[in-house]
Structure 1
Amino acid sequence: MAQTSEPLLIKRYASRRLYNTETSDYVTLDDIARFIREGRDVKIIDLKTGDDLTRQYLLQIIAEHESRGENVLPINVLTDLVRSYTTEVQSIVPQFLAASFEMLRESQSKLMENMNSMNPLRAVPGFEAMQAQQKAFLEAMTGGLAAWGKASKQGEKREGASASAEDLDEIKKQLAELQEKLAKLGQ
């Protein structure tokens, strides 16, 4: 299905049935998940009130996939997300997640564009910063933030004194760049 500028409008009736306005038929959550996987944006509204229910249904789709054993989000990440709703960190979490997924999409796109060149990853502007960001994000998504911290500490123990001040300076620089990007997104 081709990506269009308008999202697919799904109306929820009082009976809680979901109605696809393009094809004039009823759809299930699995159908909506398939539309999204195919690259289509969706908007789900309550027919009676006009309320936007998209977020609620997307969370329900994720919950159903997780309950079926299709675990994408580790317990540590889910726990951190729950904690973010009750702390001041809540204000940066949405921007961080959005920036991380956007960076992932951009890097995948650039990688595909440069697939035929000799070393496609080096041609991507800001490759090293992006690589560090993606590594942190993917580690958090696959092993949770606690496991990421443990792995970093174990890596430091293995490397011993070989970690240099230059590495620390580079990490600080990348963190500052990320904070600038997040600040721009928040404006």
Structure 2
Amino acid sequence: MLDEAKPLLIKRYASRRLYNTETSDYVTLEDIAGFIRAGREVKIVDLKSGDDLTRSYLLQIIAEHESRGESVLPLGVLTDLVRSYTGSAQSVVPDFLAMSFEMLRSGQSKIVENMTVMNPMSQMPGFKAMREQQAAFFKAMTGGWTAPPDTSPDPSEAAPSEPQSREELDAIRAQLSEMQEMLSKLNK
């Protein structure tokens, strides 16, 4: 069994091919994105120099998704990120982004905890469907970063894995827009 506690080591050869050291095969950027969506940490290093290339490859994955029209980051957020590389905002922005994503993950966990079987609302008609919609929303919001703990009494009640209705995506965009506004205020 693979040790998912430590990062998956990917080695980049001089030919720029990426090699998964656990499975002894070559992988693509899309494969790496899949590992991350599944909750796995990755570390990409240059075989010859030993340099850590993880940040560069993660940015490349994001850029590829954005260029294919899978936009998660509104133009204003991207603009603010570029602006943050100069001046005093450079020191604040990484902490702000890290805290924002941590709050998102934490909020997800707390809401799921409140939606346990012990909740009196769980006996109400339609509760199961509402819980599945919430799980789908959390998955859409986090892009698969972390799966909410399974609080279902039996596996047949697990949330569907392919949610993302138009309303859920609109809610995500609204929340990202709010984050953009907060980031803009920090830059002023």
- Fold in common (TM above 0.5): yes
Query: Among the aligned pairs, what percent are the same residue?
Result: 68
Higher helix share: 1
User: Are the aligned partners of 2:45 and 2:53 in contact in 1 as well (CA < 8 Å)?
Assistant: yes
Q: Which has the larger radius of gyration?
A: 1
The amino acid that maps onto 1:58 is L
- The secondary structure found in structure 2 opposite 1:5 is coil
- The secondary structure found in structure 2 opposite 1:16 is coil
Structure 1 position 3, deviation (Å): 7.9
| Shift in CA distance, 3/114, structure 1 to aligned 2, threshold 3 Å | farther
Within a 5 Å distance, the mapping from 1:1-80 to structure 2 comes to: 4-80=4-80
| Shift in CA distance, 11/148, structure 1 to aligned 2, threshold 3 Å | closer
CA–CA distance in structure 1, aligned partners of residues 114 and 3 of structure 2: 22
RMSD of equivalent CA atoms: 2.8
User: Are the aligned partners of 1:9 and 1:22 in contact in 2 as well (CA < 8 Å)?
Assistant: yes
The amino acid that maps onto 1:46 is D
Structure 1 position 145, deviation (Å): 3.5
Structure 1 position 105, deviation (Å): 0.5
| Shift in CA distance, 3/84, structure 1 to aligned 2, threshold 3 Å | farther
* Residue 93 (structure 1) aligns with: 93
Structure 2: gaps of 5 or more residues: 122-171
Give the TM-score normalised by structure 2: 0.64
Within a 5 Å distance, the mapping from 1:146-161 to structure 2 comes to: none
The amino acid that maps onto 1:36 is I
CA–CA distance in structure 2, aligned partners of residues 105 and 144 of structure 1: 15
Deviations, residues 2-55 of structure 1 (Å, cap 9, x unaligned): 882200000000000000000000000000000000000000000000000000
Deviations, residues 93-138 of structure 1 (Å, cap 9, x unaligned): 000100110111011112112213258xxxxxxxxxxxxxxxxx97
Structure of greater relative contact order (alpha carbons < 8 Å, 6+ residues apart): 2
Q: May I ask how many residue pairs the two structures share in their alignment?
A: 133
The amino acid that maps onto 1:107 is G
Q: Which of structure 1's runs of 4+ aligned residues deviate more than 3 A? A: 137-140, 142-149
Deviations, residues 56-98 of structure 1 (Å, cap 9, x unaligned): 0000000000000000000000000000001211101000100
